[in-house]
Amino acid sequence: MMTNHGSRITQGTFSFLPDMTDEQITKQIQYCLKNGWALNVEFTDDPHPRNTYWEMWGIPMFDIKDAAGILYEVNQCRKAYPNHYIRLTAFDSTRGTESVKLSFLVNRPKNEPGFGLVRQEVDGRRIRYTIHSYASERPEGERYR
């Protein structure tokens, strides 16, 4: 039984929706900027849900007024890693929050093979379950072609 058709990973906001167009991404960025959040472009080719810390594309962007500046970096990152997952994270520096407020994917590989269920038999015939992404069977950098 497939519950997640096409094995698209669903991490971050909007991930159950169809991929956003650049125009839609621009609007989301503008919303973040309006709230004074610092945006950061991150990428990875390890789709495991527990892989929280992705590679950073440059440093987080402060002091930017218009979405075009952020989208420019997103496009640079897409050019360098067309087949990686790329996400934007919006960091809210307000005291007491100091955390990511919004995070969404802006790029994903063309083919996402999805995850397999791994069963491990431990003492007493108990079963431990975990998931394993088919993509990560290959070494880093060669996972999505």
Residues that bind other proteins (CB under 8 A): 58, 61, 63-70, 72-73
Which is it for strands 38-44 and 55-61: parallel, antiparallel or unpaired? antiparallel
| Smallest separation, CB 30 to other proteins (Å) | 9
| Cβ nearer to other proteins, comparing 66 with 137 | 66
Q: Which amino acid is at 73?
A: E
Q: What angle do CA 121, 126, 129 make, to 5 degrees?
A: 65
Orientation of helix 22-34 relative to helix 67-80, angle to 10°: 130
| Cβ nearer to other proteins, comparing 23 with 98 | 23
| Cβ nearer to other proteins, comparing 25 with 70 | 70
| Smallest separation, CB 87 to other proteins (Å) | 19
Beta strands in the chain (DSSP E): 38-44, 55-61, 85-92, 99-107, 115-122, 126-133
| Smallest separation, CB 105 to other proteins (Å) | 21
| Cβ nearer to other proteins, comparing 19 with 66 | 66
